[in-house]
Structure 1
Protein backbone atom coordinates (compact mmCIF):
# COMPACT_ATOMS: atom_id res chain seq x y z
CA UNK A 1 0.00 0.00 0.00
CA UNK A 2 1.38 3.34 -1.02
CA UNK A 3 1.93 5.95 1.62
CA UNK A 4 -0.49 8.91 1.37
CA UNK A 5 1.13 12.28 1.14
CA UNK A 6 0.76 14.34 4.30
CA UNK A 7 -1.06 17.45 3.14
CA UNK A 8 -3.51 19.72 4.87
CA UNK A 9 -6.38 18.38 2.74
CA UNK A 10 -5.51 14.74 3.53
CA UNK A 11 -5.26 15.48 7.26
CA UNK A 12 -8.61 17.33 7.27
CA UNK A 13 -10.30 14.47 5.36
CA UNK A 14 -8.83 11.86 7.74
CA UNK A 15 -9.94 13.89 10.76
CA UNK A 16 -13.46 14.31 9.34
CA UNK A 17 -13.78 10.56 8.67
CA UNK A 18 -12.58 9.68 12.19
CA UNK A 19 -14.90 12.20 13.89
CA UNK A 20 -17.87 11.10 11.73
CA UNK A 21 -17.29 7.46 12.71
CA UNK A 22 -16.86 8.35 16.39
CA UNK A 23 -19.93 10.60 16.38
CA UNK A 24 -22.03 7.97 14.61
CA UNK A 25 -20.96 5.31 17.10
CA UNK A 26 -21.73 7.54 20.08
CA UNK A 27 -25.12 8.43 18.61
CA UNK A 28 -25.95 4.76 18.07
CA UNK A 29 -24.90 3.82 21.63
CA UNK A 30 -27.02 6.68 23.01
CA UNK A 31 -30.04 5.57 21.00
CA UNK A 32 -29.67 1.95 22.12
CA UNK A 33 -29.19 2.79 25.82
CA UNK A 34 -31.67 5.68 26.17
CA UNK A 35 -34.79 3.57 26.78
CA UNK A 36 -33.20 1.10 29.27
CA UNK A 37 -31.72 4.01 31.26
CA UNK A 38 -35.12 5.75 31.40
CA UNK A 39 -36.82 2.48 32.42
CA UNK A 40 -34.26 2.00 35.21
CA UNK A 41 -34.86 5.56 36.47
CA UNK A 42 -38.63 5.03 36.51
CA UNK A 43 -38.24 1.71 38.34
CA UNK A 44 -35.98 3.36 40.94
CA UNK A 45 -38.51 6.18 41.35
CA UNK A 46 -41.40 3.72 41.79
CA UNK A 47 -39.43 1.70 44.35
CA UNK A 48 -38.63 4.89 46.29
CA UNK A 49 -42.31 5.92 46.29
CA UNK A 50 -43.30 2.49 47.65
CA UNK A 51 -40.60 2.74 50.30
CA UNK A 52 -41.45 6.22 51.58
CA UNK A 53 -45.26 5.87 51.61
CA UNK A 54 -46.12 2.16 51.90
CA UNK A 55 -49.62 0.71 51.58
CA UNK A 56 -51.16 2.75 48.75
CA UNK A 57 -53.41 1.15 46.13
CA UNK A 58 -53.45 3.88 43.47
CA UNK A 59 -50.78 4.68 40.90
CA UNK A 60 -49.12 7.85 42.24
CA UNK A 61 -47.32 8.49 38.96
CA UNK A 62 -50.70 8.94 37.25
CA UNK A 63 -51.59 11.77 39.66
CA UNK A 64 -48.17 13.42 39.94
CA UNK A 65 -48.01 17.19 39.95
CA UNK A 66 -45.19 19.70 40.29
CA UNK A 67 -44.56 22.53 42.72
CA UNK A 68 -41.78 25.10 42.66
CA UNK A 69 -39.87 25.63 45.89
CA UNK A 70 -38.81 29.09 47.03
CA UNK A 71 -35.26 28.04 46.02
CA UNK A 72 -36.52 27.59 42.44
CA UNK A 73 -36.43 23.77 42.39
CA UNK A 74 -39.20 21.89 40.59
CA UNK A 75 -40.45 19.22 43.02
CA UNK A 76 -42.57 16.27 41.91
CA UNK A 77 -45.41 15.41 44.28
CA UNK A 78 -46.80 11.85 44.11
CA UNK A 79 -50.15 11.52 45.98
CA UNK A 80 -50.39 8.04 47.58
CA UNK A 81 -53.95 6.92 48.30
CA UNK A 82 -55.70 3.88 49.69
CA UNK A 83 -59.37 3.49 48.90
CA UNK A 84 -59.38 7.02 47.51
CA UNK A 85 -58.12 8.51 50.81
CA UNK A 86 -54.77 10.28 50.90
CA UNK A 87 -52.24 8.31 52.99
CA UNK A 88 -49.48 10.77 52.23
CA UNK A 89 -47.30 12.15 49.48
CA UNK A 90 -43.93 11.14 48.14
CA UNK A 91 -41.94 14.20 47.19
CA UNK A 92 -38.90 14.14 44.95
CA UNK A 93 -36.70 16.92 46.35
CA UNK A 94 -33.12 18.03 46.07
CA UNK A 95 -30.49 20.39 47.36
CA UNK A 96 -27.26 21.77 46.00
CA UNK A 97 -25.73 22.36 49.45
CA UNK A 98 -24.06 18.96 49.76
CA UNK A 99 -20.34 18.65 50.40
CA UNK A 100 -19.92 17.35 46.84
CA UNK A 101 -22.79 19.27 45.26
CA UNK A 102 -26.35 18.26 44.44
CA UNK A 103 -28.19 15.26 45.76
CA UNK A 104 -31.77 14.07 45.43
CA UNK A 105 -34.05 12.58 48.05
CA UNK A 106 -37.56 11.09 47.98
CA UNK A 107 -39.42 12.09 51.16
CA UNK A 108 -42.71 10.59 52.31
CA UNK A 109 -45.00 12.92 54.29
CA UNK A 110 -48.36 12.29 55.93
CA UNK A 111 -51.04 14.88 55.10
CA UNK A 112 -50.13 16.75 58.34
CA UNK A 113 -46.45 16.90 57.32
CA UNK A 114 -45.10 14.13 59.58
CA UNK A 115 -42.18 12.33 57.93
CA UNK A 116 -43.04 8.73 57.06
CA UNK A 117 -39.75 7.69 55.47
CA UNK A 118 -37.12 8.81 52.99
CA UNK A 119 -34.90 7.36 50.28
CA UNK A 120 -31.71 8.92 48.94
CA UNK A 121 -31.98 8.79 45.14
CA UNK A 122 -28.68 10.33 44.01
CA UNK A 123 -25.64 11.78 45.72
CA UNK A 124 -21.94 12.39 45.25
CA UNK A 125 -21.07 12.62 48.93
CA UNK A 126 -17.91 11.07 50.36
CA UNK A 127 -18.22 7.28 50.63
CA UNK A 128 -18.23 6.20 54.27
CA UNK A 129 -19.15 9.67 55.54
CA UNK A 130 -21.85 11.67 53.76
CA UNK A 131 -23.12 8.54 52.05
CA UNK A 132 -24.29 7.28 55.48
CA UNK A 133 -27.37 9.51 55.24
CA UNK A 134 -29.39 6.62 53.71
CA UNK A 135 -29.38 4.89 57.11
CA UNK A 136 -28.23 7.52 59.64
CA UNK A 137 -31.47 9.49 59.97
CA UNK A 138 -33.67 6.44 60.58
CA UNK A 139 -32.04 4.89 63.68
CA UNK A 140 -34.87 4.46 66.21
CA UNK A 141 -34.80 6.07 69.65
CA UNK A 142 -31.91 8.42 68.83
CA UNK A 143 -31.73 12.18 68.32
CA UNK A 144 -30.70 11.54 64.72
CA UNK A 145 -33.99 9.83 63.76
CA UNK A 146 -36.36 11.89 61.58
CA UNK A 147 -38.98 9.18 60.96
CA UNK A 148 -42.27 10.06 62.63
CA UNK A 149 -41.09 13.62 63.21
CA UNK A 150 -43.25 16.58 62.23
CA UNK A 151 -41.03 19.49 61.11
CA UNK A 152 -43.63 21.92 62.44
CA UNK A 153 -42.82 20.71 65.97
CA UNK A 154 -39.10 19.91 65.61
CA UNK A 155 -36.15 22.10 64.63
CA UNK A 156 -35.02 20.18 61.55
CA UNK A 157 -31.45 21.43 61.63
CA UNK A 158 -28.35 19.81 63.05
CA UNK A 159 -27.81 20.14 66.80
CA UNK A 160 -24.46 21.83 66.15
CA UNK A 161 -26.47 24.73 64.68
CA UNK A 162 -29.04 24.78 67.50
CA UNK A 163 -31.45 22.21 66.04
CA UNK A 164 -32.85 18.91 67.28
CA UNK A 165 -31.18 16.44 64.89
CA UNK A 166 -27.75 14.87 65.41
CA UNK A 167 -25.48 15.17 62.37
CA UNK A 168 -23.58 12.30 60.80
CA UNK A 169 -20.23 12.04 62.57
CA UNK A 170 -17.58 13.90 60.52
CA UNK A 171 -20.17 14.82 57.85
CA UNK A 172 -21.94 17.90 59.19
CA UNK A 173 -22.14 19.59 55.77
CA UNK A 174 -23.83 16.53 54.24
CA UNK A 175 -26.20 16.35 57.23
CA UNK A 176 -27.13 20.02 56.89
CA UNK A 177 -27.78 19.54 53.18
CA UNK A 178 -29.86 16.40 53.72
CA UNK A 179 -32.05 18.16 56.27
CA UNK A 180 -32.26 21.14 53.89
CA UNK A 181 -33.64 18.86 51.14
CA UNK A 182 -36.20 17.42 53.57
CA UNK A 183 -37.26 20.90 54.68
CA UNK A 184 -37.54 22.10 51.07
CA UNK A 185 -40.01 19.24 50.47
CA UNK A 186 -41.92 19.96 53.68
CA UNK A 187 -42.08 23.74 53.27
CA UNK A 188 -43.09 23.57 49.61
CA UNK A 189 -45.79 20.96 50.24
CA UNK A 190 -47.24 22.68 53.30
CA UNK A 191 -47.27 26.05 51.53
CA UNK A 192 -48.56 24.95 48.12
CA UNK A 193 -49.40 21.23 48.21
CA UNK A 194 -52.55 21.41 50.23
CA UNK A 195 -54.10 23.62 47.52
CA UNK A 196 -54.00 20.84 44.91
Structure 2
Protein backbone atom coordinates (compact mmCIF):
# COMPACT_ATOMS: atom_id res chain seq x y z
CA UNK A 1 0.00 0.00 0.00
CA UNK A 2 2.75 2.45 1.00
CA UNK A 3 4.79 1.46 -2.05
CA UNK A 4 1.83 2.14 -4.32
CA UNK A 5 1.29 5.58 -2.76
CA UNK A 6 4.99 6.36 -3.10
CA UNK A 7 4.95 5.25 -6.74
CA UNK A 8 1.94 7.42 -7.52
CA UNK A 9 3.54 10.40 -5.80
CA UNK A 10 6.71 9.98 -7.85
CA UNK A 11 4.68 9.66 -11.04
CA UNK A 12 2.70 12.81 -10.26
CA UNK A 13 5.89 14.66 -9.41
CA UNK A 14 7.53 13.67 -12.70
CA UNK A 15 4.39 14.66 -14.57
CA UNK A 16 4.41 18.09 -12.92
CA UNK A 17 8.08 18.60 -13.77
CA UNK A 18 7.58 17.58 -17.40
CA UNK A 19 4.46 19.76 -17.77
CA UNK A 20 6.25 22.77 -16.28
CA UNK A 21 9.20 22.19 -18.58
CA UNK A 22 7.04 21.92 -21.68
CA UNK A 23 5.15 25.08 -20.70
CA UNK A 24 8.41 26.96 -20.22
CA UNK A 25 9.70 25.79 -23.61
CA UNK A 26 6.48 26.77 -25.40
CA UNK A 27 6.56 30.17 -23.71
CA UNK A 28 10.19 30.73 -24.71
CA UNK A 29 9.50 29.72 -28.31
CA UNK A 30 6.34 31.79 -28.74
CA UNK A 31 7.41 34.88 -26.77
CA UNK A 32 9.26 36.56 -29.68
CA UNK A 33 6.31 35.94 -32.01
CA UNK A 34 3.84 37.39 -29.51
CA UNK A 35 6.07 40.42 -28.95
CA UNK A 36 6.39 40.94 -32.70
CA UNK A 37 2.63 40.77 -33.25
CA UNK A 38 2.02 43.16 -30.34
CA UNK A 39 4.49 45.64 -31.83
CA UNK A 40 2.80 45.40 -35.24
CA UNK A 41 -0.63 46.04 -33.70
CA UNK A 42 0.72 49.02 -31.79
CA UNK A 43 2.34 50.46 -34.92
CA UNK A 44 -0.92 50.04 -36.85
CA UNK A 45 -2.79 51.93 -34.13
CA UNK A 46 -0.21 54.72 -34.07
CA UNK A 47 -0.42 55.04 -37.86
CA UNK A 48 -4.17 55.59 -37.54
CA UNK A 49 -3.71 58.66 -35.36
CA UNK A 50 -0.43 60.01 -36.79
CA UNK A 51 -0.14 59.39 -40.56
CA UNK A 52 3.24 57.74 -41.27
CA UNK A 53 3.99 60.07 -44.18
CA UNK A 54 4.39 62.89 -41.66
CA UNK A 55 7.46 61.45 -39.97
CA UNK A 56 10.66 59.51 -40.65
CA UNK A 57 11.72 58.27 -37.22
CA UNK A 58 10.85 55.05 -35.36
CA UNK A 59 7.92 56.48 -33.45
CA UNK A 60 7.57 53.45 -31.15
CA UNK A 61 11.16 53.87 -30.01
CA UNK A 62 10.67 57.49 -28.95
CA UNK A 63 8.30 56.96 -26.09
CA UNK A 64 8.01 59.18 -23.02
CA UNK A 65 5.82 59.22 -19.95
CA UNK A 66 3.53 62.17 -19.30
CA UNK A 67 1.64 62.75 -16.06
CA UNK A 68 -1.10 65.37 -15.98
CA UNK A 69 -4.27 64.41 -14.16
CA UNK A 70 -6.24 67.45 -15.32
CA UNK A 71 -5.54 66.89 -19.02
CA UNK A 72 -5.26 63.10 -19.17
CA UNK A 73 -8.09 62.03 -16.89
CA UNK A 74 -6.08 60.47 -14.07
CA UNK A 75 -2.76 60.75 -12.26
CA UNK A 76 -1.16 57.74 -13.95
CA UNK A 77 1.78 58.12 -16.37
CA UNK A 78 0.54 58.06 -19.98
CA UNK A 79 2.69 57.01 -22.92
CA UNK A 80 3.65 59.71 -25.42
CA UNK A 81 5.00 58.71 -28.85
CA UNK A 82 6.86 61.48 -30.65
CA UNK A 83 6.95 61.72 -34.45
CA UNK A 84 9.93 63.49 -36.01
CA UNK A 85 10.75 64.68 -39.51
CA UNK A 86 14.41 65.39 -40.12
CA UNK A 87 14.98 65.04 -36.36
CA UNK A 88 12.46 67.81 -35.62
CA UNK A 89 9.38 66.89 -33.56
CA UNK A 90 6.30 67.41 -35.73
CA UNK A 91 3.52 65.52 -33.99
CA UNK A 92 2.76 63.05 -31.23
CA UNK A 93 0.36 60.36 -30.14
CA UNK A 94 -0.63 60.42 -26.48
CA UNK A 95 -2.57 57.89 -24.46
CA UNK A 96 -5.36 59.58 -22.53
CA UNK A 97 -8.47 58.85 -20.50
CA UNK A 98 -11.96 60.29 -20.64
CA UNK A 99 -12.97 59.65 -17.01
CA UNK A 100 -16.58 60.73 -17.45
CA UNK A 101 -17.99 58.22 -19.92
CA UNK A 102 -21.54 57.01 -19.33
CA UNK A 103 -20.31 53.62 -18.09
CA UNK A 104 -16.92 54.62 -16.74
CA UNK A 105 -13.52 55.63 -18.04
CA UNK A 106 -12.82 55.53 -21.78
CA UNK A 107 -9.22 54.81 -22.79
CA UNK A 108 -8.08 56.64 -25.92
CA UNK A 109 -5.13 57.45 -28.15
CA UNK A 110 -5.00 60.99 -29.54
CA UNK A 111 -2.66 62.10 -32.31
CA UNK A 112 -2.01 65.80 -32.91
CA UNK A 113 0.62 68.17 -34.21
CA UNK A 114 2.11 70.85 -31.98
CA UNK A 115 -0.19 73.60 -33.25
CA UNK A 116 -3.52 72.27 -31.98
CA UNK A 117 -4.47 70.22 -35.03
CA UNK A 118 -5.91 66.80 -34.24
CA UNK A 119 -4.62 64.17 -36.66
CA UNK A 120 -6.60 61.20 -35.43
CA UNK A 121 -8.32 59.64 -32.42
CA UNK A 122 -8.97 56.04 -31.48
CA UNK A 123 -10.81 54.51 -28.54
CA UNK A 124 -8.85 51.53 -27.26
CA UNK A 125 -11.04 50.46 -24.34
CA UNK A 126 -14.51 51.33 -23.06
CA UNK A 127 -17.62 49.95 -21.39
CA UNK A 128 -20.25 52.09 -23.09
CA UNK A 129 -23.71 50.80 -23.91
CA UNK A 130 -23.91 48.62 -27.05
CA UNK A 131 -26.05 50.25 -29.71
CA UNK A 132 -25.67 53.70 -28.15
CA UNK A 133 -22.33 54.78 -26.74
CA UNK A 134 -20.30 52.18 -28.61
CA UNK A 135 -20.49 54.33 -31.75
CA UNK A 136 -17.17 55.77 -30.56
CA UNK A 137 -15.60 52.56 -31.93
CA UNK A 138 -14.45 52.72 -35.55
CA UNK A 139 -15.80 49.23 -36.23
CA UNK A 140 -19.28 50.46 -35.28
CA UNK A 141 -19.28 53.98 -36.74
CA UNK A 142 -16.96 56.42 -38.51
CA UNK A 143 -17.89 59.15 -35.99
CA UNK A 144 -14.40 59.03 -34.47
CA UNK A 145 -12.95 60.19 -37.80
CA UNK A 146 -14.75 63.53 -37.44
CA UNK A 147 -11.77 64.70 -35.36
CA UNK A 148 -9.32 64.35 -38.26
CA UNK A 149 -7.90 67.74 -39.19
CA UNK A 150 -9.89 69.73 -36.61
CA UNK A 151 -7.95 72.43 -34.77
CA UNK A 152 -8.35 73.34 -31.11
CA UNK A 153 -8.09 77.12 -30.79
CA UNK A 154 -7.18 77.29 -27.12
CA UNK A 155 -8.93 76.17 -23.96
CA UNK A 156 -11.79 78.60 -24.59
CA UNK A 157 -12.64 77.19 -28.03
CA UNK A 158 -16.41 76.63 -27.76
CA UNK A 159 -16.59 75.07 -31.22
CA UNK A 160 -14.63 72.03 -30.05
CA UNK A 161 -17.64 70.48 -28.32
CA UNK A 162 -20.71 68.44 -29.15
CA UNK A 163 -23.54 70.31 -30.87
CA UNK A 164 -25.73 70.11 -27.79
CA UNK A 165 -23.10 72.23 -26.03
CA UNK A 166 -22.81 74.68 -28.92
CA UNK A 167 -19.98 72.90 -30.72
CA UNK A 168 -19.55 71.22 -34.10
CA UNK A 169 -19.40 67.53 -33.22
CA UNK A 170 -22.46 65.31 -33.55
CA UNK A 171 -23.80 63.56 -30.50
CA UNK A 172 -25.53 60.19 -30.69
CA UNK A 173 -29.29 59.82 -30.60
CA UNK A 174 -30.16 58.95 -27.02
CA UNK A 175 -26.54 59.21 -25.90
CA UNK A 176 -24.82 62.55 -25.38
CA UNK A 177 -22.62 61.76 -22.38
CA UNK A 178 -20.32 59.38 -24.25
CA UNK A 179 -19.44 61.61 -27.25
CA UNK A 180 -19.16 64.63 -24.94
CA UNK A 181 -16.60 62.77 -22.82
CA UNK A 182 -14.57 61.79 -25.90
CA UNK A 183 -14.68 65.29 -27.43
CA UNK A 184 -13.63 66.96 -24.19
CA UNK A 185 -10.83 64.46 -23.57
CA UNK A 186 -9.56 64.97 -27.13
CA UNK A 187 -9.56 68.74 -26.65
CA UNK A 188 -7.66 68.57 -23.36
CA UNK A 189 -5.13 66.12 -24.78
CA UNK A 190 -4.49 68.09 -27.97
CA UNK A 191 -3.89 71.23 -25.93
CA UNK A 192 -1.42 69.34 -23.74
CA UNK A 193 0.41 67.94 -26.77
CA UNK A 194 0.83 71.49 -28.03
CA UNK A 195 2.91 72.33 -24.94
CA UNK A 196 5.18 69.28 -24.96
CA UNK A 197 8.03 69.96 -27.45
CA UNK A 198 9.82 72.21 -24.96
CA UNK A 199 9.44 69.58 -22.25
CA UNK A 200 10.68 66.49 -24.09
CA UNK A 201 14.18 66.59 -22.62
CA UNK A 202 12.78 66.49 -19.11
CA UNK A 203 10.27 63.69 -19.60
CA UNK A 204 11.13 60.15 -18.42
CA UNK A 205 11.20 57.59 -21.19
CA UNK A 206 8.88 54.60 -21.20
CA UNK A 207 11.65 52.29 -20.05
CA UNK A 208 11.62 54.08 -16.72
CA UNK A 209 8.05 53.02 -15.97
CA UNK A 210 7.72 51.53 -12.46
Structure 2, unpaired ranges of 5+ = 1-15, 201-210
Of Structure 1 and Structure 2, the greater helix share is in 2
Which residue matches 1:10?
A: none
The counterpart of 1:112, out of the listed 100, 115, 119, is 115
User: Where do residues 175-194 of structure 1 align in structure 2 (5 Å cutoff)?
Assistant: 175-194=179-198
- Whether the 8 Å CA contact 1:114–1:148 is kept in 2: the answer is yes
Distance in 2 separating the partners of 1:100 and 1:38: 31
Which residue matches 1:12?
A: none
* Aligned CA distance change for structure 1 residues 180 and 39 (closer, same or farther; 3 Å): farther
Which residue matches 1:84?
A: 87
Which residue matches 2:45?
A: 48
Which residue matches 2:65?
A: 66
* Aligned CA distance change for structure 1 residues 44 and 124 (closer, same or farther; 3 Å): farther
* Aligned CA distance change for structure 1 residues 39 and 93 (closer, same or farther; 3 Å): farther
Q: CA RMSD in A?
A: 2.9
Q: How many residues align?
A: 165
- Whether the 8 Å CA contact 1:67–1:188 is kept in 2: the answer is no
Distance in 2 separating the partners of 1:52 and 1:159: 23
Output one character per residue of 1:16-48: Cα deviation in whole Å (capped at 9) or x when no partner. xxxxx9xxx9xx7xx95x957766554432211
Q: If the length of structure 2 is used for normalisation, what is the TM-score?
A: 0.66
Structure 1, unpaired ranges of 5+ = 1-20, 139-144
SS at match of 1:137: helix
* Aligned CA distance change for structure 1 residues 85 and 111 (closer, same or farther; 3 Å): same
* Aligned CA distance change for structure 1 residues 187 and 111 (closer, same or farther; 3 Å): closer
